[in-house]
Chain A
């Protein structure tokens, strides 16, 4: 029953996100447009841009993920769907996990797909692409999970979108650090296995804990 509920929820959220693909387009648009501002800000020197590229891509990915978080629970909360989900026989944390997975598939995966375009724009050395994308693939699920906690906590608050940013961004710092330093390390011929292990450890810790905390926050918000 738990697996069935997980799949039903996952399917529903993915379908909903695809129906409202304009939202997804806007997030990708933000990612690319914001990245193209940096050459104007720091100058078009390819070496400077290459040095900054991993950091810019990661920070913008973080911000783009954060901007997409409000659709995770907010509209379901407003129209009463979340209340019904809280009443489903399956544990709410499983439903939250399904929603976070759907968020990753529909918000993070497209960002990872677009990241190479930005990497080209910012002149990232070719040998760094693999590590950058692998880091994003391993780090962004954690962002979705932590983001689910932030989005759930902000339900019903004034200025929920802004509040999510204040709550979630400090908690994103570890993922950012390991993701960016992995690329830097790779470019200076240092082994990146430690970085990936830490990113994996963060994901392994977030996968059970975040749905649980988010579920507690949702139970409160629908009570």
Chain B
């Protein structure tokens, strides 16, 4: 096994953290759900619908975090040629896409009773939708090549291009929104939030973070396994070729047809 395909210390740390992340995350999730669903007051305007926010907000934040992580991993892969960066980005992308989807679905479920419609081209929702497109583009590109390793660098470049573009896209979407929509339909929780709502939100955020990292570690191990499998296969092919050649008399330039 070549040293550059070796998972090394990072994987050992991840392996050791994995059970802690899983059980810690589950414990926080139970506590957070109890707080959020049973032990927090309904909003005076939104009533019980507000409870969706305890899932919606953490998934939105982590989805964006996942994109940032993906871009940082990709940048480190491009700059220092560290294969771990690429594997990290590849592992983070589907989780980020799933979280974006969770955010969009919960947002739209929340929108129905609040705005009276499942979908509004609100600036925030729209930029989350575009974030989903960017995740999809990354995953499509990373897996679009017959030799999976060929997709590493293009996908990494795309992730970096994407992170440069996200602020521009967000700005343009807000610009679009202010022009098309005279009155803002809703204001988010705003700067102030009662502590009995903030506590469950923070707990849920912790739970989501732990579970995100756990899933990331699981996926990372899977990506490593894929790389190792490919290396072993390549080795087998090589060994078979060498063995075949030894049987045939060789030496000097091998006379074959062109190609």
A181 touches B179 (CB 8 A): yes
Q: Which residue, A170, A209, A216, has most C-beta atoms of chain B within 10 A?
A: A170
The tally of residues in B whose CB lies under 8 Å from a CB in A reads 30
A216 touches B144 (CB 8 A): no
B141 touches A167 (CB 8 A): yes
Q: Is B146 an interface residue (CB 8 A)?
A: yes
In terms of DSSP, what is the predominant structure of the interface of chain B? helix
Q: Is B57 an interface residue (CB 8 A)?
A: no
Interface residues as binary, A166-206 with B (CB distance below 8 Å gives 1, 0 otherwise)? 11011101100110010011000000000000100010010
If A158-B145, A173-B172 touch, does A153 touch B157 (CB 8 Å cutoff)? yes
Nearest CB of B to A122, in Å: 20
In terms of DSSP, what is the predominant structure of the interface of chain A? helix
A174 touches B172 (CB 8 A): yes
B157 touches A216 (CB 8 A): yes
Nearest CB of A to B123, in Å: 11
B179: chain A residues at CB < 8 Å are 181, 184-185
If A198-B172, A217-B157 touch, does A170 touch B134 (CB 8 Å cutoff)? yes
A154 contact from B134, B144, B146, B176, Cβ within 8 A: B144
B171: chain A residues at CB < 8 Å are 174
Q: Is B164 an interface residue (CB 8 A)?
A: yes
B227: chain A residues at CB < 8 Å are none
How many A residues touch the partner, as a band?
Answer: 20 to 34
Q: Is B11 an interface residue (CB 8 A)?
A: no
A170 touches B161 (CB 8 A): no
Q: Is B169 an interface residue (CB 8 A)?
A: yes
Nearest CB of B to A202, in Å: 7
**Closest chain B residue to A168 by CB distance?**
B137
B164: chain A residues at CB < 8 Å are 209
CA separation between A216 and B173, bound complex, in Å?
Answer: 29
Q: Is A159 an interface residue (CB 8 A)?
A: yes
CA separation between A178 and B145, bound complex, in Å?
Answer: 34
A202 contact from B130, B134, B151, B168, Cβ within 8 A: B168
**Closest chain B residue to A181 by CB distance?**
B179
B175 contact from A154, A163, A177, Cβ within 8 A: A177
Within 8 A of B (CB), among A202-223: 202, 205, 209, 213, 216-217, 220-221
8 nearest A-B pairs in the assembled complex, by CB-CB distance: A174-B172, A157-B144, A170-B133, A220-B153, A153-B154, A177-B176, A177-B172, A167-B137
Chain B residues packing against A (C-beta within 8 Å): 78, 130, 133-134, 136-137, 140-141, 144-146, 150-151, 153-154, 157-158, 160-162, 164-165, 168-169, 171-173, 175-176, 179
User: Can you list 20 contacts pairing A with B, beta carbon distance less than 8 Å?
Assistant: A149-B161, A153-B154, A158-B144, A163-B140, A163-B144, A166-B141, A170-B130, A170-B169, A171-B162, A174-B168, A177-B175, A184-B179, A198-B172, A198-B175, A202-B168, A213-B157, A213-B161, A216-B78, A217-B153, A220-B157
